[in-house]
Amino acid sequence: MSIDWLFELERAIENGKVLYACQGVGRNQWVIGKSVEELRKIAQRAANHKKLSIDIARIISAHEAVTGDMFLVPTDIGDPGHRGEPNIRWTAVETKEAAEMVKDVRKGPSPIFGIQIEETMVPETMP
């Protein structure tokens, strides 16, 4: 289940695993990866498609977030895809209070994550 995947992600981060995330091309789609390098192409493609700057952020425990950090919140936790992949829509918000208000709780209490911006990809200009 997608909610189980979220709890595994939360446990991994709390146990010191370093993971990163960036917005994908789809609406409310975020891609999670093991390194900034792994996400650069995805973030650049999203920046070019959306014609907006796209941040690559380190995912941290919500308890470790400090003023200025944002929160990555699962706002729609769906059933897993055909291959068992999690089906989650995300939103980035500025405060923990906002994160608690918008998170999806239909399948029980869901975790939220802090994010710290590591790098920003800007749209490439066409010649």
The model carries a pTM of 0.89
* pLDDT of 127: 52
* pLDDT of 36: 96
Helices within 1-127 (DSSP H only): 2-14, 36-50, 96-102
Q: Are 72 and 113 in contact (CB under 8 A)?
A: yes
* pLDDT of 126: 56
Non-local (6+) Cβ contacts of 83 within 8 A are: none
Within the chain, which residues score under 70 in pLDDT?
Answer: 1, 126-127
* pLDDT of 1: 67
